Structure 1
Amino acid sequence: WGAAWLWGNKEDLDQDQEGWKLLLDPSSPPTKTLNGTEPNYHSLPTAHMDEQALLSSILAKRARNIIDVLAADSQGMKQHEYMDQARQYSTLLAFLNSSLTHWKKLPPLPSLPNQTHQVLASDLVPFADLQQDNFWRSLPCSCLPFP
């Protein structure tokens, strides 16, 4: 509007503003934001875009955490290798279950051998719990001297 003020008189400016008011859609957001600056409508996300972005992020998170059961078979895992991994997983679950129950009363994590479908379909472990677990696991490593 500053350029219009320089080129015309006040009456021309008032008429221009009235014309612009008629062109504005009454259902559109107001032309001034709370701090008095002009909004940038191209950068305002719509509800659909927000929902789409949220769904995409959820899908990306789930895709990163999918366990490909067929990949183990395609790599030619032998029966004893599979059983060793299942045993390691069960040991880890037992450790986590015992350490988690000291500071939080959580339901025990499902075990792999008898509840495979529940392990694959269960909710992910919260990130805060993983961070705390990593913190406690890193303490003994920080005490070891480096060669």
Structure 2
Amino acid sequence: MGCCYSSENETTEEVTLASSCKPPNGTDWANTSVPSARTDEQALLTSILTKTAQNIIDVAAAESVMMEQHEYMDKARQYRYVVKQLRCSDT
């Protein structure tokens, strides 16, 4: 009684979850070891991060290289030539 939609004849059932909740092997939860799948996942993640770090191109460092004007003009000429070749091959 006292709760919404309750009656005086109603029986209350209480289920204690904490006492019935034990690890499957009977040990304490705090003493359980990390599953090997989680360790494998961590090793895979570390491997991916290492490979990514090795393949990153530092654009900020690349911009600090100064070119002489004639080098810049040569690169611009080569770029225009390649673009012209690509346009001709598309038609």
Same fold (TM over 0.5): no
TM-score, normalised to structure 1, is 0.28
Q: Which of structures 1 and 2 has the bigger CA Rg? A: 2
TM-score, normalised to structure 2, is 0.40
